[in-house]
């Protein structure tokens, strides 16, 4: 009895062996001659057309633009050729090399050499694929070039003040950070269109309403205050849908850390503001006791601003009278005056920072 069971090539009828075809008796497989007759190690298109954004280098694939991180058109051509290759399932140890030849500004000939092992036989194939680059402008670059924006964040402050440099610089930083985070997740539509300084604050034009909302939220989270939004109909898109632009009006709190304020209907003495996140918190400059605005007042107590820690001047301590009072020199008149001594004032100090305002002279904490 023969151990070789007879199988036959379905095309030419020659007997085949399992060693030759790798197929078991039940599967019918072509003999090597028939198998290799029209064998292609790699399936490659005759030409490859690539739509590339001339501004940012993004490549159009399927129905969208994709950032491929390519340095130049040769890189893109290699990338797209790789994408287009279909390697035969029967090949193992597949490898390929390519020599790009730049024909003109938009045509690159890819001289490819493929190798692999098929049915135990090493094989090589050489193919030339022309890659044609068509330069276009992607949606995002078109929008950037057209100063497109879908939302505006207006950064303003309540009351007499305008946003501080710290606040406007941070606002700009937040917008750029949020856009960078969104870009990192592959969102190509996130960008900052324009940031402009206004006498009353800062205007930030952003590419989507989502970014506007995120920036507003983060600003309020960091600096207190609140924001509201309103829609304006700007146009209809090509499908007849109404397109709205959203304005986010951020109102930063009237007072900031470092302000000394006199709260209405309150006789506990002026308060040095330490924080306005959530509700206003600070310290009484008369006693050193902590102050915290109630929930209903939040970060906006009815109060007048007396000055800030930047207005403080060092003055000489004449004598510490007792726990609650100190005699010092009025920094303006140089007369001795007895004023309230807050508990943060060290009794051994020779000089202390004081704020002189219509409410009198108050000792501030050391900076
Ligand atoms: Zn055959
Ligand atoms: Zn682009």
pLDDT of residue 27: 67
Q: What is the CA(125)–ligand 2 centre distance, in A? A: 36
pLDDT of residue 367: 77
Nearest to 153 by CA among 229, 225, 224, 221: 229
Residue 264 is inside which H or E element, if any?
none
Q: What is the CA(36)–ligand 1 centre distance, in A? A: 10
Secondary structure E strands in 158-300: 192-198, 201-206, 226-236, 242-252, 259-263, 271-275, 281-284, 290-292
pTM: 0.69
Question: Which whole number is the average pLDDT over 133-149?
Answer: 91
Q: What is the CA(16)–ligand 1 centre distance, in A? A: 8
Question: Which whole number is the average pLDDT over 143-150?
Answer: 91
SS3 content of the chain, % helix, strand, coil (to 5): 20, 45, 40
Query: Residue 145 CA: which ligand is closest?
Result: 2
What is the residue-wise DSSP string for 192-220? EEEEEEETTEEEEEESSHHHHHHHHHHHH
Query: Residue 55 CA: which ligand is closest?
Result: 2
Q: What is the CA(208)–ligand 2 centre distance, in A? A: 17
Residue 2 has pLDDT above 50, yes or no: no
The band of 25, judged by pLDDT with boundaries at 50, 70 and 90, is low
Percent of the chain with pLDDT over 90: 60
Q: What is the pLDDT of residues 181-205, one digit of tens each?
A: 998 888 888 999 999 999 999 999 9
Enumerate the β-bridge partners of residue 128: 111
Question: Which whole number is the average pLDDT over 283-294?
Answer: 94
Q: What is the CA(248)–ligand 2 centre distance, in A? A: 28
Q: What is the CA(91)–ligand 1 centre distance, in A? A: 19
Nearest to 264 by CA among 355, 359, 356: 359
pLDDT of residue 289: 96
Q: What is the CA(3)–ligand 1 centre distance, in A? A: 22
Query: Residue 54 CA: which ligand is closest?
Result: 2
Token output for 270: 């002026």
Q: What is the CA(47)–ligand 2 centre distance, in A? A: 24
| Structure-model confidence comparison of residues 60 and 5, the more confident one | 60
Q: What is the CA(148)–ligand 2 centre distance, in A? A: 14
State the Cα–Cα distance between residues 284 and 279, nearest whole angstrom.
Answer: 16
Question: Which whole number is the average pLDDT over 144-170?
Answer: 93
């Amino acid at each position: 009895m023969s151990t070789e069971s007879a199988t036959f090539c379905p095309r030419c009828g020659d007997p085949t062996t399992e060693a030759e075809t790798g197929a078991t008796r039940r599967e019918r497989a072509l003999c090597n001659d028939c198998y290799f007759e029209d064998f292609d190690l790699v399936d490659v298109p005759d030409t490859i057309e690539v739509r590339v954004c001339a501004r940012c280098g993004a490549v159009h694939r399927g129905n969208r633009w994709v950032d491929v991180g390519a340095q130049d058109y040769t890189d893109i051509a290699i990338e797209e050729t790789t994408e287009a290759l279909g390697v035969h399932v029967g090949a193992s140890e597949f490898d390929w090399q390519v020599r790009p030849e730049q024909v003109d500004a938009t045509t690159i000939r890819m001289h490819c050499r493929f190798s692999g092992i098929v049915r135990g036989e090493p094989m090589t194939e050489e193919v030339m694929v022309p890659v044609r680059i068509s330069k276009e402008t992607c949606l995002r670059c078109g929008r950037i070039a057209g100063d497109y924006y879908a939302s505006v964040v207006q950064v303003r402050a309540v009351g007499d003040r305008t946003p501080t440099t710290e606040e406007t610089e941070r606002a700009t930083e937040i917008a750029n950070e949020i856009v960078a985070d969104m870009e990192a997740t592959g969102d190509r539509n996130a960008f900052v269109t324009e940031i402009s300084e206004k006498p009353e604050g800062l205007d930030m034009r952003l590419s989507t309403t989502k970014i506007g909302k995120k920036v507003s939220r983060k600003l309020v989270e960091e600096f207190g205050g609140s924001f509201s939004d309103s829609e304006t109909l700007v146009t209809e898109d090509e499908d007849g849908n109404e397109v709205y632009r959203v304005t986010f009006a951020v109102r930063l709190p009237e007072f900031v850390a470092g302000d000394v304020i006199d709260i209405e209907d309150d006789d506990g003495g002026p308060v040095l503001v330490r924080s306005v996140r959530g509700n206003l918190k600070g310290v009484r400059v008369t006693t050193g006791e902590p102050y915290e605005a109630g929930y209903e007042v939040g970060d906006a107590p009815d109060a007048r601003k007396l000055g800030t820690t930047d207005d403080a001047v060092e003055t000489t301590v004449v004598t510490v009278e007792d726990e609650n009072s100190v005699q010092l020199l009025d920094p303006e008149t140089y007369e001795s005056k007895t004023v309230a001594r807050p508990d943060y004032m060290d009794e051994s100090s020779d000089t202390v920072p004081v704020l002189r305002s219509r409410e009198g002279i108050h000792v501030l904490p050391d900076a």
